[in-house]
Structure formats: structure tokens, C-alpha cells
Amino acid sequence: MALLHTVNKSPYQCNTLESCLEHVGEGDVVLLIEDGVYAAVKGGKAAEMIARAQGVKICALSADVKARGLADKLVDGVEVVDYGGFVDLVTETDKTQAWL
Amino acid sequence: MSEVKNFLYVNRKAPHGTIYALESLEVVLIGAAFEQDVALAFLDDGVFQLVKGWDTSELGVKNFQPAYTALGDYDISKIYVERESLEERGLSEDDLLELTYEDEDDDWAEKSSIRIVSREEMAQIMRDADVILSF
């Protein structure tokens, strides 16, 4: 039973990413969207949290990454997906938990 | 009412997730027309507003980043960016927009408006302002 977790808030403004990562399980996918993509910036404190998440795929939405000027700043291991990829993740997983 | 006050606009929000960044920029540009002494502060997630290279085409919203480069044309020459906020987010001055102004006291030489300051200095900048507007 794989879950898709979406995180749309900056990890530096509230604890949604932290809470999300404490609830993920093996095989789950975390998709960073909107201000959630700031978690994937290389060298940031939040990127360390992401690096500690074992057995979980971390993705970031391309449109939100590019809009914020982060395309060449992402930490290794984060997969960038477009809107079509977002839809694929929804269909590949059993259900979605949105960490608003 | 000709007394000039110094206004500090404090920016603490990332650019696209909320409307604060755009609203702040609009208020700054309007306020600058009233010939007050204006300075901008960027701390916490506000530093993300100055990260260069926005491409909002996929997102389908207007790219308002070029408006920041117009600040110099409005004689806004003091843009304070907090070092600790940058470092916590994996950023450095090299990641930021190049914002400049022309110094009328130095034969209109083009100079950088961005001043990287410590958290302690930022606290003092807030204390020294006559008026603070928070975004």
C-alpha cells in the first residue's frame, strides 16, 4: 500500500515536511510542490532531512522548481517531474495524503 | 510635512506561494515616488525573492522578477539581505539578482544595492527605522 505525499509549504516556515517525513513508509513517494520545493535546495538544512529519508522516492514539480530559479540548485536524488509525471504518481500509488 | 522619514520594508515570504512578495514590491515602488528614505530587508524565506533565474512559463503566472531590477531607478540603494537566512537555505550572494543604483554623490557610478548583513545587524537596522512595513 504505497502513499503519495504532497508537501506545498516551505520547510523553513512550517513543519509540514518534517511531519510528513515522520509518517512516510517504505515505497512511498514524497512530491514537493509550490513552496515545498525549497526543501530540495542543495546545502539547505531541509535537504539534510530529505537525505535521511530512506526507502522513499522524493520528487519535485518542474514548474515550481523553474519558477523559483532552482533548476540547477537541487540536491542529488530528487527526481524532477512535470505535470504529466504528477498524474502518473497519483495513478501509480494507492492514495494521496496532502500535507497542507 | 516635508520631514523625510526612513521606511524599512521587511520581506519574510517566498515569492510565489503567497501574494506577499508581489504586494510588497508594488507598495515599495509606489512609496518610492513620495521621496522618502526607503530601504528593503530580506530575511527568513524572503531571501528566496532575490534568487535569480525565475522561469514562470510552466507555472502560467507573470514573472515579476524584472521589477526588482527597477528598484535602483527609484533611488532605492539599500537592500539588506540577512546572511544567516541565506546560509540556512543553502544560498550565497552569488545566487542573488544583481541589483544596482547610480550614486549621485560619486559621478553616478553604478554600484550594488545589495548589502549582506548579519542577523545582529538586521536587528539594529529594524531598530533604527522610523517606520517598518511588514510583508
Q: pLDDT value at position A32?
A: 98
Number of domains forming the structure of chain B: 1
pTM for the predicted model, two decimal places: 0.92
**Taking CA B83 as the corner, what is the angle to CA B77 and CA B84, rounded to the nearest 5 degrees?**
145
Confidence of residue B35 (pLDDT cuts 50, 70, 90): confident
Instruction: Give pLDDT tens digits for A64-73.
Output: 999 999 999 9
Domain CATH code at residue A73: 3.40.1260.10
Which residues numbered 81-120 in B keep a CB inside 8 Å of some CB on A? 88-91, 95
Across B71-99, average pLDDT: 96
Confidence of residue B31 (pLDDT cuts 50, 70, 90): confident
Looking at residue A44, the DSSP 8-state letter turns out to be B
Instruction: Please check the confidence at residue B12 and state whether its pLDDT lies above 70.
Output: yes
Residue at B19 is within a domain: yes
Looking at residue B88, the DSSP 8-state letter turns out to be H
Q: pLDDT value at position B106?
A: 94
Burial B40-72 (b: 16+ CB within 10 A, else e): bbbbbbbbbbbbeebbbeebeeeebbeebeebb
CA distance B111 to chain A (A): 24
Which phi and psi angles does B121 have, rounded to 5°?
A: -65, -40
Instruction: Please check the confidence at residue B1 and state whether its pLDDT lies above 60.
Output: no
Q: Which of B48, B50, B65 to mutate to test the interface with A (most CBs of A within 10 A)?
A: B48
Residue at B1 is within a domain: no
Q: Which domain holds residue B95?
A: 6-134
